A and B are shown apart, each in its own frame.
Chain A
């Protein structure tokens, strides 16, 4: 199993698109985490500095109308948005994969029930349920809670994909050999099927990551984000709330905008990398 995973990792890190996306992403994640130590959270408490300063050496990205340092907001916001992405993608990918494996491998009634549930969850627009849930606990939301809420709707897509793959894999000979050698169903799922799903789980992970950051910013712009903490979405929320665009404070609204585009670009590159592993035809282009 471990050799298999090692091989998989070797193929993905030799993919040029994945690696460039990964480097872009890691460097910004690294800066955001390191910056968090240099610019403590107190830098974005209201009233810490003069209000509405334009960028200078002391405040490279200036301050907002509440007297909060914007570079500190950006670093902490990026860090928290990435944190939400990691939590949601981990929960969604693994919970989804387990459901997909079980559904595909056990088949029969279990599969019928799980498939209908997945279909139902795929056909309801999740952002709206999230709005409903988040508006009830508005004000007391933390970054972690936000991530958990978003995770509630992050599993159906991985589940459907993994199920389809399991169906095609389970008829293969090595599964038969495993079954004849007396492995239990659960053991087969973990030790034989899982390593073959590496690319799909990787692609799902990146996808869930992307959707999580997008959902977080959407909920935050609607005013449902973690009000006392900073995320990229909350930065946009504050900037829009205080009409940063009309005050001409580009240094307030532009950093989260460009950070979001940057993050999506790097994640998309990684996704393309996994796509090329899954679909070799994409590689020829």
Chain B
């Protein structure tokens, strides 16, 4: 237990350090470039003369982030505001704050990727288990193996492009973009949910296809290893039915690394499919960042990046702390 405690402390230090370093990089980077983008931000705000209160906003901005003071004060104020959750105002969507814009986008990203990760994981694990049990030279394995390999090495956004071509251009079955029909009322009723599911089908399928290969291959190789164990032979010797041996004995022993993999994938749901969202104009955080890049909305880019980094770091930390409890074979030293 003492070593577990030491391990947790070490991971905790790394967690805090990585957040601190990330924040510092986010603070420093724009200030390294000649022609401070913050000036450009203020300039852009000023140009939007029509919008009421832009002048006040600039003054408030300068006050909150200490833009007229020395760099150290700016740094301290920046850290303080970010920790309070204040990421400033979005320029392209002006009266909204960055936090508001991101809060609207987050459920889309998290929902899409959580669903697809679970579907892909379940499918890949079950198929991989069957392929592994039947052996790598079986017809089943020969059918799915090369396909899985191809899926694994193909970059994930390629699937998005191919599906868009196949099911939105060639066969006009699915919509090409968006998360729901424009103008549809965003309510939690069946009609809206069906609409969302219809719009999410292609993005979801592209993500499932791109991750399926890896789940299949890793489960297959685990299953092959487990099949050679003595307790499987013992189970056969006892005369148990093969189905029982596969799912009760082999599968349950082979699945642990898959569970770890699932946890790691789920920790990436916040920013895991940026380009899929861009290609399908899906209203998640990736699309928001893309939109911000196109409209030079620097505070929004910065906010989006920060939110994803914090989410990933936090999820990593949670997994690191839980993992030794799940798998006692993990030693607490990072050798």
Binding site for B on A (CB under 8 A): 115-116, 119-120, 123-125, 127-129, 131-133, 135-138, 164, 167, 214, 217-218, 221-224, 236, 240, 245-246, 248, 250, 253, 257, 260-261, 264-265, 268, 285
Q: Could you tell me the distance in whole angstroms from the C-beta of A34 to the nearest C-beta in chain B?
A: 26
| Whole-angstrom CA separation of A223 from B287 in the bound complex | 12
Interface membership of B45, Cβ < 8 A: no
B13 surroundings in chain A (CB, below 8 A): 116
Known: A116-B14, A131-B289. A264 touches B155 (CB 8 A): yes
The verdict on A245 contacting B18 (CB below 8 Å), with A128-B271, A135-B293, A136-B37 known, is no
B153: which A residues are within 8 A, CB to CB? 261, 264-265, 268
What is the minimal beta-carbon distance from A227 to any residue of chain B, in angstroms? 13
- Interface-located stretch among B72-80, B99-107, B114-122, B297-305: B297-305
Contact of B274 among A217, A222, A236 (CB under 8 A): A222
Q: Are A132 and B302 in contact (CB under 8 A)?
A: yes
**CB-nearest residue of chain A to B279:** A240
Cα–Cα, bound, A126→B301 (Å) = 15
Query: At the interface, yes or no: B154 with Cβ under 8 Å from chain A?
Result: yes
Which among A133, A221, A223, A260 has the highest number of chain B CB atoms within 10 Å? A221
Q: Which of B164, B165, B294, B302 has the most CB of A within 10 A?
A: B165
A25 CB, nearest partner CB in chain B, Å: 13
Chain B residue contacts of A218, Cβ below 8 A: 157, 274-275
Q: Per-residue 0/1 for B241-276: is the Cβ within 8 Å of any A Cβ (1 yes, 0 no)?
A: 000000000000000000000000000100100110
Report which of B14, B150, B162, B278 forms a contact with A222, defined as CB distance below 8 A: B278
Q: Which residue in chain A gives the minimum CB-CB distance to B154?
A: A261
Which residues on B sit within 8 Å (CB–CB) of A124? Answer: 18, 21-22, 309, 312-313
Q: Is the CB of A125 within 8 A of B309?
A: yes
Residues of B contacting A260 with CB < 8 Å?
A: 154-155, 158
Question: What are the 3 closest A-B residue pairs judged by CB atoms, nearest first?
Answer: A120-B18, A128-B305, A264-B153
With known contacts A116-B17, A245-B165, A246-B176, A131–B316 Cβ distance under 8 A: no
Taking CB atoms and an 8 Å cut-off, the chain B residues in 1-50 that contact chain A are: 13-15, 17-18, 21-22, 25-26, 29-30, 33, 37
Q: Return B176 CB to nearest CB of chain A, in Å.
A: 7
Query: In the complex, what residues of A have CB within 8 A of residue B271's CB?
Result: 125, 128
Q: Measured between alpha carbons, how far is A161 from B268 in the docked complex, in Å? A: 23
Count of inter-chain pairs, beta carbons less than 8 A: 113
B161 x A245 contact (CB < 8 A) = yes
A257/B158 in contact, CB under 8 A = yes
Chain B window 209-226, contacts with chain A (Cβ cutoff 8 Å), 1 for yes, 0 for no: 000000000000000000
The smallest beta-carbon distance between B324 and chain A, in angstroms, is: 16
The tally of residues in B whose CB lies under 8 Å from a CB in A reads 49
Q: CB-CB < 8 A to B301: which residues of A?
A: 131-132, 135
Q: Which of B150, B168, B293, B308 contacts A128 (CB 8 A)?
A: B308
Overall SS of chain B's interface: helix
24 residue pairs A–B, Cβ–Cβ below 8 Å: A116-B14, A119-B14, A119-B334, A120-B18, A123-B18, A125-B268, A125-B308, A128-B309, A132-B29, A133-B29, A135-B301, A136-B30, A136-B33, A138-B293, A167-B335, A223-B290, A224-B293, A245-B165, A245-B168, A253-B165, A257-B161, A261-B150, A264-B153, A285-B136
B313 touches A236 (CB 8 A): no
B332 within 8 A of partner (CB)? no
User: In the complex, what residues of B have CB within 8 A of residue A224's CB?
Assistant: 293
- Given the complex, which residues of B lie within 8 Å of A253, measured CB to CB? 161, 165
Q: Is A129 within 8 A of B165, CB to CB? A: no
Chain A positions within 8 Å of B231 at CB level: none
Chain B CB count within 10 A is highest, among A120, A164, A260, for A120
How far, in angstroms, from A8 to B305 measured CA to CA in the complex? Answer: 42
B169 CB within 8 Å of chain A:
yes
Tell me, rounded to whole Å, the shortest Cβ–Cβ distance linking A203 to chain B: 15
Whether the pair A221, B14 counts as a contact (CB closer than 8 A) is no
Closest partner residue, chain B, to A134 (CB atom): B293
- Contact pattern, B 230-248, Cβ under 8 Å of A = 1, otherwise 0: 0000000000000000000
Docked Cα-Cα span, A231 to B289, in Å, equals 22
**Are B293 and A123 neighbours in the complex by a CB distance under 8 Å?**
no
Complex: how many Å from CA A120 to CA B317? 11
Q: Which residues on B sit within 8 Å (CB–CB) of A217?
A: 155, 157
- Please tell me which one of the listed residues B26, B30, B313 contacts residue A123 in the complex, with CB atoms under 8 A apart: B313
Complex Cα gap A200–B304 (Å): 36
* A281–chain B nearest beta-carbon distance, Å: 10
Write the chain B residue with the least CB distance to A139: B296
Closest chain-B Cβ to A279's Cβ sits at a distance in Å of 12
A136 to B271, CA, bound (A): 20
Instruction: Please encode chain B, from 159 to 181, with 1 for each CB lying within 8 Å of some chain A CB and 0 for all others.
Output: 00110110011000000100000
Please, how many angstroms separate the alpha-carbon atoms of A38 and B279 in the complex? 33
Contact B164 A245 (CB under 8 A): yes
Minimum distance in angstroms from B209 CB to a CB of chain A:
13
Q: B309 — which chain A residues lie within 8 A by C-beta?
A: 124-125, 128-129
Look across to chain A and name the residue whose beta carbon is closest to the beta carbon of B152.
Answer: A268
CB distance from B302 to the nearest CB of A (A): 7
Q: Is the CB of A236 within 8 A of B290?
A: no
Residues in B281-335 with C-beta less than 8 Å from chain A: 289-290, 293-294, 296, 298, 301-302, 305, 308-309, 312-313, 316, 334-335
Complex contacts, B305 vs chain A, CB 8 Å: 128-129, 131-132
